Structure 1
Amino acid sequence: MRRFMSPRPKKIRYCQRSFCRRAFKPTGRPLSEIEQVEIYQDELEALRLCDGEGLTQEQAGEKMGVSRGTIQRIISGVRKKVALALTEGHALVFAEDGEDL
């Protein structure tokens, strides 16, 4: 029998800005009628630091208190989410970590 260890606890990620629950969506259609893609606060912060401010992944990791590899994983995932929402007409909904829509 294989024993699986529980996953490591999630490291605290420091974000400079607090984002209230908002959404970007295509105009002309109610939010309730379109598919929603969640973007968490740490994903938005990593995207802002790397793509918005032009920091390297290492610099962004230092600001957020996580490793460069963690930033790389976060950025890769959030870029896919944004690309999907923009090309498929989905809503980008900003949520705090663990918040249900």
Structure 2
Amino acid sequence: MSPRPKKMRRCEGSFCGRAFKPTGTPLNELTPIALHRDELEALRLCDVEGLTQEEAGLRMGVSRGTVQRIITGARKKTATALTEGQALVFIDSES
């Protein structure tokens, strides 16, 4: 039995460059943490726009549970990058 195909996720926001990193250290000297477009979109919708996970799921075309899973991972990646001085590298694909 093969896994269920991944549902297409609608993302309205855009990246503010290709990475977010600490100042003064070249990107190639930092540990990269991949932040996918759907993870940034979930952060934007829930933490910036203040939508509930249910509302964010409707906007993204996925379930509330999927938004919860996406945002949990995105918050962990973001917190790790900020506290450990690593780089968030924005990935356009969802793979």
Shared fold (TM-score greater than 0.5)? yes
Aligned ranges for residues 1-101 of structure 1 at < 5 Å? 5-19=1-15, 22-97=18-93
Give 5+ residue unaligned stretches, structure 1.
none
Letter in 1 for 2:83: T
Tell me how far apart the structure 2 counterparts of residues 98 and 45 of structure 1 sit (CA, whole Å): 12
SS in 1 for 2:58: helix
- TM-score w.r.t. length of structure 1: 0.88
Mapped contact 1:20–1:94 kept (Cα < 8 A): no
1:14-55 CA-partner distances (Å, limit 9, x unpaired): 011343751111111110011000100000001000000000
Mapped contact 1:21–1:93 kept (Cα < 8 A): no
Mapped contact 1:35–1:90 kept (Cα < 8 A): yes
Number of residue pairs aligned between Structure 1 and Structure 2: 95
Letter in 2 for 1:37: I
Mapped contact 1:21–1:95 kept (Cα < 8 A): no
Mapped contact 2:37–2:94 kept (Cα < 8 A): no
Letter in 2 for 1:17: G
- TM-score w.r.t. length of structure 2: 0.93
Which structure has the greater CA radius of gyration? 1
Percent identity between matched residues is 68
